[in-house]
Amino acid sequence: MRILSRVCILLFSICLVLACDSLEDKKGRFLLKGNEKMKENDPKSAIGFYQEAIALDSTFADAYYNKGLAHLRFNQLEEAIGDFSKAIQINPEYFEAIFQRGLTYLDNGEFYKAREDAERLKNLDNKNWKSFFLAGLTEEKLKNYPESLNSFEKAIALAPDNSDLLVNQATILFYQKEFNKAKQILDRAEELNPEEPNLHNLRSMILFEEKEYSQALQAVEKAITLDNRQAYFYNNKGLYLLFTGELEEGLQLINQSIQMDPKNPYSLRNKGIYYVLKGDKISALQYLSELETKYPEMDLVKEYLQKAQDL
């Protein structure tokens, strides 16, 4: 009887081990299925599989993290932040989850929370370029340009072949009106990755500031060819067309940009400029007066508001 009892205990223990293995296998399979759906550009199904994995293990940090990435495909920022936060709660040193949450905070307008995540990343790993990249983006949003530039420079020192970092560095220099330095850095970025659309868009913005309108058009057209999903590329092209006298073509692109991103105030500014150039005082003031109140430092707003008032 004692031998039989021992055998039963042994069999029971084996069953427990197999059950645990089965649970790990099951949740792992759901995670992999979700990842496959993400590769197939089916984030809705992916979310379902990740949720199945979480139902099996509520402390499955990777499932929360991947579910957050899937929510980003739908621009569901609050949901994504919630999932990243859950993954971080489970694993406080989950670097990628903190990084993605910081980026999502930026997209959601929560700049100070993004700054906190940047500091957290630097404390976790100050040899990873992403720590300083997030810090640079955050300080840019807060208009702390010297601090932003310093962070991007540190990121570039850690990842000198990353063209995105160079473009961000050049962007800060553009904001500071250091156009020659910005152009030199864009040339370096283009050597690394000539297919980076943002570098061509930024170059177009510099050329516009230098009143090289035809060259600005060529540069932004290249950006659109490389990525036709960015509303601000169309908005910039529309602006440049206004300054080359192609008003209706410019307005068409500005309206297209507004349809793609109704929250971009630069599109509204450009529409106000269009009405100034058309001599429509009432419509011009409708756009530019409000912008002057909300964004008094925006380039061209004061100049064209004055022109509208003088019509």
Per run of 10 residues, the mean pLDDT along the chain (length 311 residues) is 43 46 80 92 93 93 95 94 97 97 96 98 97 97 96 97 96 96 96 96 97 97 96 97 97 96 92 96 94 92 94 91
Residues 198/200/206/211 CA torsion (nearest 10 deg): -140
pLDDT score, position 28: 85
Helix axes 43-56, 2-39, angle to 10 degrees: 160
Ordered domains of the chain (ranges, CATH): 29-92 (1.25.40.10), 229-311 (1.25.40.10)
Token pair, residue 59, equals 């402390």
* pTM summary value: 0.84
Token pair, residue 296, equals 């008094």
pLDDT score, position 21: 61
Residue 199 to residues 81, 172, 187, 222, Cα–Cα distance (Å): 29, 13, 9, 10
Residues 21/23/25/29 CA torsion (nearest 10 deg): 180
Write down the mean pLDDT value for the chain: 92
Residues in the chain: 311
| One-letter amino acid of 232 | Y
Q: What is the DSSP letter of 212?
A: -
pLDDT score, position 175: 94
3-state secondary structure 158-188: HCCCCHHHHHHHHHHHHHCCCHHHHHHHHHH
Q: What is the DSSP letter of 60?
A: -
CA distance linking residue 182 with residue 167, whole number of Å: 9
Question: Residue 230 belongs to what H/E stretch?
Answer: none
Residue among 208, 204, 233 nearest 300 (CA): 208
Q: What is the DSSP letter of 141?
A: H
pLDDT score, position 27: 83
